[in-house]
Structure 1
């Protein structure tokens, strides 16, 4: 598998940042109509774009947003993590490397085999801080001076929560749940090959065996890795 070049990573990072901001600005400025199906379509779009922000931050952790310029790479990772509900990029970076180094062991901060909801709670507990909650509360109360409260909740807060669930379900729970063969060093599995669904569900991170086997690959290269590797 070929590594990503500098310009492709930057292109996708800025594209996702621009789309996230443009769509959020659009929906926040328009009246909210709960009877319109477009309201729910916009929620799903914004959820997907939030997931794109986090995936970009994740790729920055692996140094593939801008490999030749580490400061720019991690700067963009920090911006994306901050825009995604004020996540702490430094904490994400440290713990995600732990996840790769100690996957599916007691030292793995992401994997907690067992009940789905208990696992999700423990997963969230690793990353959510009181500083993050406080920053969200302050930002919400400032923004509602100029923007409708309902729009902020429906288009800014709800998609972030849904995206967190999306990332956990497709990018952690499904790939790592249950038993894995000892010879499977990635301790992960992949969803069946379907590139359209893989992109819609979680930017190809359902191809999780490929990600752990080739962590230097950016999200859009995982489909190529899936085509290259046998089914897992």
Structure 2
């Protein structure tokens, strides 16, 4: 199994600038699609912009993931602020809940306590269903419903909300799940092999912990064995 370089906190402002650029591109493009564009579903350009928004939605969640690993900024508070904004904008997700689940994932990748992995099946749809059930919550449903109704109340046509906000978020979720799904890329590892936490972290598609479980995830700078 290949060795991955360890993540290090960024030394300059580039992590924050890139994160803000992703957030700004996602939000700016969405506002234009909902309020100012003259596109219709009959236009191929509308579908192109839907694909672009889905791509930006994927980047939005990846930005939140990078914040969990402390790679946006050296300042923990700024990492949390960026991660909270990115996860909330993506799908009303709780950043703190994601941090807890992501820590559990890195502590036991492909194990029974890994919330990102299914020990029962490696088929995509059953795994994806299990994954969504573990992560989706009633507050998230209510938040998304509130966002939808606020946009509708502001005068945005419903088809635009579905086409340019809901559909790209769903497409982005599938892209995140199919581009490097943990349960499908590491499932060939024999279940009898139980490496150390650090080695198991390197075996995941998310890359190594930072370091072996980063301060952004655990709240401690102490390396774990």
Q: TM-score, normalised by structure 2?
A: 0.80
Distance of 1:214 and 1:96 partners within structure 2: 10
CA shift at 1:214, angstroms? 5.6
Larger relative CO (CA 8 A, sep 6+): 1 or 2?
Answer: 2
Corresponding residue for residue 89 of structure 1: 95
Corresponding residue for residue 59 of structure 1: 66
Corresponding residue for residue 164 of structure 2: 155
Distance of 2:31 and 2:174 partners within structure 1: 23
Corresponding residue for residue 131 of structure 1: 139
CA shift at 1:114, angstroms? 2.1
CA shift at 1:174, angstroms? 6.8
Corresponding residue for residue 129 of structure 2: 121
CA shift at 1:90, angstroms? 0.6
CA shift at 1:93, angstroms? 0.5
Alpha-carbon RMSD across the aligned residues, in angstroms, is 2.0
2:181 to 156, 172, 180: 172
CA shift at 1:168, angstroms? 1.2
| Structure with bigger gyration radius | 2
Alignment of 1:6-155 (within 5 A): 6-29=12-35, 30-67=37-74, 69-112=75-118, 113-145=121-153, 146-155=155-164
8 A Cα contact 1:27 1:155, kept in partner: yes
Unaligned runs of 5+ in 2: 212-225
Distance of 1:64 and 1:142 partners within structure 2: 33
SS of equivalent residue, structure 2 residue 180:
helix
Unaligned runs of 5+ in 1: 190-207, 217-232
Deviations 1:191-221 (A, max 9, x none): xxxxxxxxxxxxxxxxx3xx423646xxxxx
Number of paired residues? 195
Tell me which moved more, 56-65 or 27-36. Answer: 27-36
